[in-house]
Structure 1
Amino acid sequence: MCGITGFWRMGGDGGDGLRGQAEAMSARLRHRGPDDCGVWCDERAGLALAQQRLSVLDLSAAGHQPMHSACGRYVVVFNGEIYNHVDLRHRLAGEGEAVAWRGHSDTETLLACLVAWGVEETLRSCVGMFAFALWDRQRRELTLARDRMGEKPLYYGWQGDTLLFGSELKALRAHPAFNAAIDRNALALFLRHDCVPAPHTIYNGIYKLRPGYLLRIGPKDRRDTQQWSYWRYNDAVASGYASPFDGTDTEAADALEKQLGDSISTQLLSDVPLGAFLSGGIDSSTVVALMQARSHRAVKTFTIGFAESGYDEAMHARAVADHLGTDHTELYVRPDDALSVIPSLPSIFCEPFADSSQIPTFLISQLARRTVTVALSGDGGDELFGGYNRYLAARTTWGRVQRLPLSSRRALAGVLRAVTPEAWDHMMERAKPLLPRRWHLAMAGDKAHKLSEVLTLSSGQAYLLSLASCWKNPEGVVAGASEPITVLTDPTSWPRTDDLAQWMMAMDAQSYLPDDILVKVDRSAMANSLETRVPMLDHRVVEFALRMPLHLKIRDGQGKWILRQVLHRYVPRELIERPKMGFALPMDHWLRGPLREWAEALLDERRLRDEGYFDPVPIRKTWEEHLSGRRNWQRQLWTVLMFQGWLEENQGAS
C-alpha cells in the first residue's frame, strides 16, 4: 500500500524544477507510505513520478519505486496489492517468458506482465486492489488505471498545460499549477450524497478515475486522451443473469464458502503483521471466521465500543472473538476521544466527506495500527448480498406504496404534511396506551413527513435516489449550483434487472460503495499508515454473488441469507442474529451538547453569507429545528459542517 503522485507538463523540457515539485507533492502523502520514498523524472518529456511506500510485500530495496521494467521501456508507480501475483509469475514462466526476477514484490510482477501482455490483458489478469501510473518511454504515453471495484483512489486533472495525478487531492494541491477553484455543482452533489461522487471532485477541472477504468494520454497535447473500461459492473450483472447459479441452498453455501475462503487465503499474503476489524456483525464475523480457519495462530481482531446505549456492538464482537479464539483487542471510546478526531477530518479526507462513521473507522484503524500493518474488513457484503434495510423496504414499503395511484398517494402525502412534526409526536404520546408496543414510534413526526416524501415518488429509481439523498434539494441550498447527472440519475448507466431490490444493490455497488464506504475506509486507515483489504470485493466473489438469485440473498424478511448460512457453520446463530446497527455515533445528541458551540460558529448566518457558497436561510432553519429537538437533522447538518470545516482548513492553503 502506498501513495503515488506525479505530473506531466506538456510542451517540453521540465528543467531542474521537476524533482523538487514531485518531492513536494509526494511529501503530502507520507502517511500513506512512511517506509520509503522515491522520485523519477523524464526531464525531456517534462514528466515526474513519485511514490511513498508502505512496505508490505518484499521489504527489501528490490521493492523500491518508481520501478523500471527489466527492458527499461516502462516506469511505474503503484499503489495497492496484486493478490495473485505469484500465480502470474508461474503463468509467465509457463508461456516461456524468462524473467530475471530482482525480488518478490507484486510491482515487479505487474511490470513483467505489462511487458509481456500489454495493459488491458494485464489488468484483466490481475486480482487485487490498485491504482497505478505507467510511463511508456518509447511511445511517450502515460497510462493511469484503477481497480475494478474502486478500492484504491486515483485523482487527475489538467491545470493549464500540466496534467496532475495522485492518490489524494492534497498531493495535487502541492503543485504550483494547481487552481483550487471550488466546483459549486460538485458541492450540490456533496449535499445530496454526503460525498462527492465520481468522476467529480470538489475542484473545477479535477476528477476521480472511475473504478475499472484506464486513462491513456498521448504525446501530442491534452486532447490526445482516451478513457475506457476494462471491466464493468453492469456487464457482470448481465453475465450473472445469463448464467445464474441453479444449485441447492447447501450447494450455494458450499460454493460461496469456497470462493470467499479462496479470496481470504490470497489476502493473507503479507511480510508484516496482519489482523482484521471485527464488529460482531455478519460481514466482519464471516471474514474473521474464514481467516481463523486458515490460520495456524490466533488472528488479531480489533473492535471499538461506545458507552452510549444503542451504539455499542463491542460486546457482540467479543462474544464472536471468544468463540473463534482470536487474539482480540477492544477499546471503549469516550465522547472526548471521538470528538478529538473532528478537527483532523478535513485534512484526512482532503475534500468534503460527511459519513459520520468516518470517526469510529479512524479510531479502529488507529487501534489496529498499534500492532498490525494490514487489516482485513467485511465491507461489500451489504451491496452484494442484500444487507441494507432499504432492500427489504423495496419489497415491502415501496411494494405497497406503488399499488396506490399516484394521485391518491399525493393526496395522502398532503394530509401527512398538513400536520406538523410536533403535532404528530404529541398525538403518538397520547395514543401509546392504546397501541401495541411495536407501534410506539420515536420521533413519529419525523417518520410521518419522511413517508409523505416517499408517497409522492413516481418510480422505484426515484425511491432509491430519495433514500440516498441527504438534502433533497441541494440546488436550493448551494448558491449558483446546477446539480450534475450521476450514475443514479442517468438511465443509460443503469443495469438491467427484473427486481427493484436487485437494481438498488447494483446501483449501490457502483455509487455508495466506491464513493462513500471505500473512501472512508481508505482515508481513515491510510491516515494511520494501515493497509486495509476487502476480501468480498475480489472480483471473482463479486461475479459469483451476481450469479446468485435474489432468494438466496433476501429470504424470510432477512438480508444476506446465504452469507448467514456460511457464518452459521463457524459461529452459533444466537451470537450474531440481531438487528443491524451499522457504525453509528450519537451525533444528534452531540450537536445539541458538546459540539454545539463548534457547530454554531461554522453555521453563523453572517459567515455563511460572506463565504457565498450557501443560502443561510434553509441551513439556519434546519439548525434551529434540530436544537429544539423537534426534528433530527444530524445528517443534513453534518454535511454542511464538514464542508465548512474543510473550507476553513483549505482556504488559502497551498
Structure 2
Amino acid sequence: MCGYAGMVVTSKAIGALTPELLRAMGNSIRLRGPDDQGVWLDAKLGVGLVHQRLAIQDLSPLGAQPMQSSTNRFTIAFNGEIYNFKQLKARLVALGFQFKGGSDTEVILAAFEAWGVDAALIEFVGMFSIALIDHQEKQLWLIRDRMGEKPLYYYQADGNLLFASELKPLMLCPLFKKDIEQGAVGLLMRHNYIPAPWSIFKNTFKLEPAHYLRFDLLNIAATPVKKCYWQPSLNWNQSLTTQALHEQLEPLLSQVIADQMISDAPLGAFLSGGIDSSTIVSLMQRQSSRPVKTFSVGFNVSGFNEAEHAKAVAKHLGTDHSEFYVEPQDALNIISQLPEIYDEPFADSSQIPTFIVSRMTRQQVTVALSGDGGDELFAGYSRYASYARGFASRQQGLVNKLMNGLPASLVVQLTRVLKSNQRELSQALLLEKVQRYSVGFKSPDARNYYQNQIGYWLNPEAHLKSATRLPYALDDMPLREDPTSTFQWCDINSYLPDDILVKVDRAAMANSLETRVPLLDHRLVELSLTVPTAINVVNGVTKQPLRNILYQYVPRELVDRPKQGFAVPVGHWLKNELREWAEDLLSEKSLADSNVFNSDLIRQKWQAHLTTSHDYSFHLWSVLMFQSWHRKYM
C-alpha cells in the first residue's frame, strides 16, 4: 500500500512548487506509507510528486517511488498491489525487458512501455491508484482501479492541478481554497457518505472507479480526457446451474486468495464470523501450512456482538485468533481522531470498530484480507428481499389507499390517534416519518424505492441553509426487470466504493495496514453478475454460492444466522457515554459557528433522540461527523 500527492502549476504559481511543500504534503499522509518518502520535481514542466511507501513487495530500496521507467519516458507514483505482476513480468522479460528489483511498480512501468497505458490497464489484476507522467507526450495520467479500492482526489482551479490519495495534502497547499460544497453536505445527510465524483470542497473531486483522466501538461487548465476503461455488466446467464457455478466459483476464488496471500510482509485476515469473511478465511487456511492469523472485535451490548461467532469459526478452522471488545471509552478515544482519519465528513458509524480491528491487526501483521463485497455480488442485503416481499402489499390494501389518497398532514393526525407509540414525536418529525413511508408506498419502481429507502434524511437540502441537490451515480441507475439486479448495480456503483471501501481504506491506512479484498477481483465480479437471483437467493436465504463453498469447511450451525453487519450501538452511546460530546457539537453555538444547518430542525431531531424511544442516531451521526470535521479543519 502507500500514498502519494502531486501538483502541476502554471508559471505564475511556480513559486509554490518546492521540495519542502511536497515533503509536508507527504508527511500529512505518512501513516499510509511510513517506511520511506520520495520526492520528484520537474520545475520546467511545473510538476512535482511525493510518495509515502509502505513496503510490501520488494522491501529493498529498489522498490522506492516515485520511480522512473527504464527508458525514462515515464515517472510513476503508485498506491496498491498488482497481484499478477509475476506473470506479467515473465511476459515482459520474454519481450526483452530487464528488471533491477522485484517490485510490482517496476512491472507496471514496463507494461506501460510495452503495451501503452490503455492496453496495460486491462492486463492488471489488482487494486491501484496511479499518477503517471509521460515525458514524451507531456501528459499526466490519473488512474483508479476497477472497483475503487484505492482513493484518488483532484483539485483543478486557477489553472493549477493538485491531486492526492487523501484530502489532507491538498489542504496544506497554499493554492487550495477550502470552500465547502454545500450540496455535498446534502448528499452526506442522505447517505452518510459523499458519493463520487463529489467531495466536501468545491472544485475538488473523487475520480470514479475504473476511470482515468489524461491531462495536457503544457495546458493544464484545459479539460482533461476522461475515460471509463472497464465496466461490469449485469448480464444474467439464465442457463447457469448451481453446480456449474460452483465448479467455476470455488477454483477462481481459491486462486484469487492464493495470489493475494503473496507478501513479503506478515499477513492475516479480518474475521467477523459471517458468510463472507468465514469463506475467505476457510480458503486461506486450506492453502496455508500454518494457522492463519485472524482478528475480530465485539461489543458488550446485546444484539451488537459478533465476536463470539467469529471465535467459534476460528476455533473450528484452527486459526490463530485474536479479539478485542469495544467499550464506550474506546469509541470516545477514537471519535476525536475521526476527522483526521477520514479528512472529509464520513458517517458510517462502523468506522469505529473498523479502526479498532485494524489497529489490533497491525500489531501482528502488515497485510490483512477482508470479506467485503459478498453482499453486493451475491445479493446479500436484506433490502433486496424486503422490496420483493412488500411490493404486493404496496399495490393494495388500506394503508396504500391512505398513503395515496390523503394529505400528509391528515395522515399525521390519524397516526397520532391510531399509533400511541408515535404520539411522543413532534409534528415535524412525525410528518417526516409519514412522508418516508408514503414515498415507499408510492414508489413506481425499484429505482425510485432504492433511492429513497437507503437515505436517512428524507429531504436533506431542506435542513441546510443553502444547498442544491447534486447529480450522482444513483441518478443514472439502470432499471431492470428483476429489482434485485437494479439494487446490485446501485450498491456496486455507489455504496460499495464510496462507503464500504472508504471506511476500510482510511481505517486501515491510519494504522499503516494494507487491506486486500479477494471478492472484488474483477474476474469474480464479472462472474457474479451473470448469476440470476434464483441461484443467489433460495427460499429467502441469500448468498447461496458463497454458502455452498463455506459449508464444505464450516458447519452450517456456526454461520447460519440473520445478517447482523458491523453494527455499533451508537444510539445507546449518544444517550449515555457520548451525550456530552454530542450536545457540544449540536449546541446552538456550534451549529451557528459552522453556519451550514438549519439549527432548529437539527436540534429538534437531537431532542427527540434523547427524550423518546426513537433512535435517530443514523440521522445525527452525519451531522456530528460534519460538525467535528468542521471544527478541526475550518
Give the distance between the partners of 1:250 and 1:583, measured in 2 at CA. 31
Q: Is the 8 A contact 2:271 2:295 kept in 1?
A: yes
Q: Provide the residue aligned with 1:75 in structure 2.
A: 75
1:528 aligns with 2:511: yes
Q: Is the 8 A contact 1:3 1:29 kept in 2?
A: yes
Give per-residue Cα distances to partners, 1:1-25, cap 9 Å, x unaligned. Answer: 0001100013379469421221111
Give the distance between the partners of 2:479 and 2:390, measured in 1 at CA. 22
1:87 aligns with 2:87: yes
Q: Provide the residue aligned with 2:404 in structure 1.
A: 410
Give the distance between the partners of 2:120 and 2:300, measured in 1 at CA. 49
Quickly say closer, same or farther: Cα 1:629–1:85, change in 2 above 3 A.
same
**TM-score normalised to structure 1 length:** 0.92
Q: Provide the residue aligned with 1:627 in structure 2.
A: 610
> Over aligned residues, Cα RMSD in angstroms?
2.1
Q: Is the 8 A contact 1:31 1:526 kept in 2?
A: yes
Quickly say closer, same or farther: Cα 1:399–1:54, change in 2 above 3 A.
farther
Which residue of 553, 556, 573 corresponds with 2:556?
A: 573
Give the drift of 1:480.
1.1
Unaligned runs of 5+ in 1: 429-443
Equivalent AA in structure 1 for residue 219 of structure 2: K
1:454 aligns with 2:437: no
1:559 aligns with 2:554: no
Quickly say closer, same or farther: Cα 1:448–1:69, change in 2 above 3 A.
same
**TM-score normalised to structure 2 length:** 0.95
Give the distance between the partners of 2:125 and 2:138, measured in 1 at CA. 28
Equivalent AA in structure 1 for residue 471 of structure 2: I
Q: Provide the residue aligned with 1:360 in structure 2.
A: 353
Q: Is the 8 A contact 1:416 1:452 kept in 2?
A: no
1:277 aligns with 2:270: yes
Give the distance between the partners of 2:582 and 2:353, measured in 1 at CA. 20
Give per-residue Cα distances to partners, 1:319-344, cap 9 Å, x unaligned. Answer: 10011111111111222112211000
Equivalent AA in structure 1 for residue 532 of structure 2: P
Give the distance between the partners of 2:49 and 2:276, measured in 1 at CA. 38
Q: How many residues align?
A: 625
Q: Provide the residue aligned with 1:48 in structure 2.
A: 48
Q: Provide the residue aligned with 1:437 in structure 2.
A: none
Residue identity (%): 46
1:133 aligns with 2:131: yes
Equivalent AA in structure 2 for residue 48 of structure 1: G
Equivalent AA in structure 2 for residue 105 of structure 1: S
Quickly say closer, same or farther: Cα 1:60–1:557, change in 2 above 3 A.
same
> What are the equivalent positions in structure 2 for 1:129-168 lying under 5 Å apart?
129-168=127-166
Give the drift of 1:581.
0.7
Of residues 552-561 and 102-111 in structure 1, the stretch that sits farther from structure 2 once superposed is 552-561
Q: Provide the residue aligned with 2:318 in structure 1.
A: 325
Give the drift of 1:445.
12
Q: Provide the residue aligned with 1:431 in structure 2.
A: none
Instruction: Look up the SS of the partner of 1:392 in the other structure.
Output: helix
Give the distance between the partners of 1:5 and 1:572, measured in 2 at CA. 47
Give the distance between the partners of 2:535 and 2:406, measured in 1 at CA. 36
> What are the equivalent positions in structure 2 for 1:120-269 lying under 5 Å apart?
120-218=118-216, 219-233=218-232, 236-237=233-234, 240-241=235-236, 244=237, 246-269=239-262
Give the distance between the partners of 1:248 and 1:609, measured in 2 at CA. 59
Give the distance between the partners of 1:540 and 1:412, measured in 2 at CA. 50
Quickly say closer, same or farther: Cα 1:93–1:380, change in 2 above 3 A.
same
Give the drift of 1:610.
4.2
Q: Provide the residue aligned with 1:636 in structure 2.
A: 619
Quickly say closer, same or farther: Cα 1:393–1:49, change in 2 above 3 A.
same
Q: Provide the residue aligned with 1:310 in structure 2.
A: 303
Give the distance between the partners of 1:208 and 1:489, measured in 2 at CA. 17
Instruction: Look up the SS of the partner of 2:474 in the other structure.
Output: coil
Quickly say closer, same or farther: Cα 1:475–1:247, change in 2 above 3 A.
closer
Which residue of 576, 580, 596 corresponds with 1:597?
A: 580
Which residue of 448, 452, 475 corresponds with 2:461?
A: 475
Q: Is the 8 A contact 2:241 2:535 kept in 1?
A: no
Instruction: Look up the SS of the partner of 2:187 in the other structure.
Output: helix
Q: Is the 8 A contact 1:446 1:632 kept in 2?
A: no
Q: Provide the residue aligned with 2:373 in structure 1.
A: 380
Give per-residue Cα distances to partners, 1:215-263, cap 9 Å, x unaligned. Answer: 0001224115111110123xx22xx33xx16343222222211121111
Give the distance between the partners of 1:427 and 1:341, measured in 2 at CA. 35
Equivalent AA in structure 2 for residue 102 of structure 1: K
Equivalent AA in structure 1 for residue 629 of structure 2: W
Quickly say closer, same or farther: Cα 1:630–1:294, change in 2 above 3 A.
same
Give the distance between the partners of 1:450 and 1:14, measured in 2 at CA. 52
Unaligned runs of 5+ in 2: 424-429
Q: Provide the residue aligned with 2:339 in structure 1.
A: 346
Q: Provide the residue aligned with 2:427 in structure 1.
A: none
Give the distance between the partners of 1:245 and 1:84, measured in 2 at CA. 31
Give per-residue Cα distances to partners, 1:51-84, cap 9 Å, x unaligned. Answer: 0000000000110000000001110000000001
Q: Is the 8 A contact 1:412 1:452 kept in 2?
A: no
Q: Provide the residue aligned with 1:434 in structure 2.
A: none
Equivalent AA in structure 2 for residue 502 of structure 1: S
Give per-residue Cα distances to partners, 1:492-547, cap 9 Å, x unaligned. Answer: xx235321111111111100000000000000000000000000000000000011
Equivalent AA in structure 2 for residue 113 of structure 1: A
Quickly say closer, same or farther: Cα 1:635–1:423, change in 2 above 3 A.
farther
